[in-house]
Amino acid sequence: MTKRFSFDLKATDGKARTGVINTPRGEVRTPAFMPVGTAATVKAMMPESVRATGADILLGNTYHLMLRPTAERIDRLGGLHKFMNWERPILTDSGGFQVMSLAGLRKLTEKGVTFKSHIDGSKHELTPERSIEIQRLLGSDIVMCFDECPALPADRERIAESMRLSMRWAERSREAFGDRPGHALFGIMQGGLEQDLREESAEALRKIGFEGYAVGGLAVGEGQEAMFGCLDYAPDFLPVDKPRYLMGVGKPDDIVGAVARGIDMMDCVLPSRSGRTGQAFTRHGVVNIKNARHADDPRPLDENCSCPACSNYSRAYLHHVFRSNEMISGMLLTWHNLHYFQEIMQGMRDAIAAGTFEAWQAEFHAQRAQGDI
Ligand SMILES: Nc1cc(N)c2c(=O)[nH][nH]c(=O)c2c1
């Protein structure tokens, strides 16, 4: 097992890439999808079940963990990997994005952000230095710079101002991170949908130098067309030999389109959150299992899926346990969704390696009916 952090680019097909991120806690096959383990758990899943879906790496949320049970307590208990019984790689976000979307009474200054906890109203401060310290205490393998993601819609001046603040915070994050062999710090590109600001941000990050680079500021309500429009150029501004991480994405077709444009890593709550609400993603489209028409359906969600939900249960059963609000409902559908997302990633990795990504994409889209099935 390597003691270093490195990225091996194995093959490309058009702009799509496949490779391996090597970390002391194991390899991450790319393109990779990261299930979100918000409060030290991927909701409704045991860690070994998450691994069984094919996940190589999880995402932990700094904002939630700093508030409860606190990074210091997790550190005292041996770090996040031991705490949540997941010994493979963990990427943690910086907390900045969730402060802006979840916390109350936020005050943003050059230093950082002060806010009130959404849990108990207690006052807190996040700065680049504090965010990096929290992520270190958690034992994160891939640490994210503390950044600011402007709420959309925003005018160009606001986007430029916010991006430049994030670049100053990226320098402070790099300084605070120090020298931690085997661990990585990723910079986050900002700049909204402005190509020149995106290029300016990428240049600023490259000058600082990071082990990986994220594309932030997307999946914030701009819509798929605008997101893809930005991804048609933004990844090209980033170093070719480092992992590229698109934050907060997305639906299956978002993920495929992002990989086709040169993205290597993604995370999203969608498969787990939707699983708990009865929305199943399948190769033929979305199944809303609570719909009455599934009440007598003996078929599996997806006859081609090998997950426990599709191997052992009918749509009728899944419909019943959701309608009865049974705990197994969210467990089974979360497992299915995460399994399906990982199946998409494995399909893309194989297709890119074989040089057949274009045909794979055509098949992926051809299989998908419109709407609920
Ligand atoms: N969609 C997004 C999800 C995220 N978790 C983030 C983030 O953590 N930082 N910066 C971002 O721009 C961002 C965008």
**Has residue 371 got a pLDDT over 80?**
no
- List the structure tokens of 159: 């986007």
| Tens of pLDDT, residues 215-241 | 999 999 999 999 999 999 999 999 999
Pocket probe mutation, ligand 1, options 59, 93, 201, max atoms within 8 Å of Cβ: 93
pTM comes to: 0.98
Using the atom order of ligand 1, give the atom closest to the CA of residue 93. Answer: 8
Q: Please, which pLDDT band fits residue 170 given cuts at 50, 70 and 90?
A: very high
Instruction: Compute the distance from residue 312 Cα to the ligand 1 centre, in Å.
Output: 37
Beta bridge partners of 370: none
Q: Phi, psi (5° rounding) for residue 294?
A: -95, 0
Pocket, ligand 1, Cβ cutoff 6 A: 93-94, 96-97, 147, 149, 188, 216-220, 247-248
Give the CA angle between residues 171, 192, 246 to the nearest 5°: 75
**What is the atom index within ligand 1 of the atom nearest the CA of 190?**
12
CA of 149 to the centre of ligand 1 (A): 7
Say how far apart CA 107 and CA 125 lie, in whole Å: 9
Ligand 1 centroid distance, CA of 58 (Å): 16
pLDDT digits (tens, 9 = 90+) for 282-311: 999 999 999 999 999 999 999 999 999 999
* Active site (catalytic) residues: 93, 267
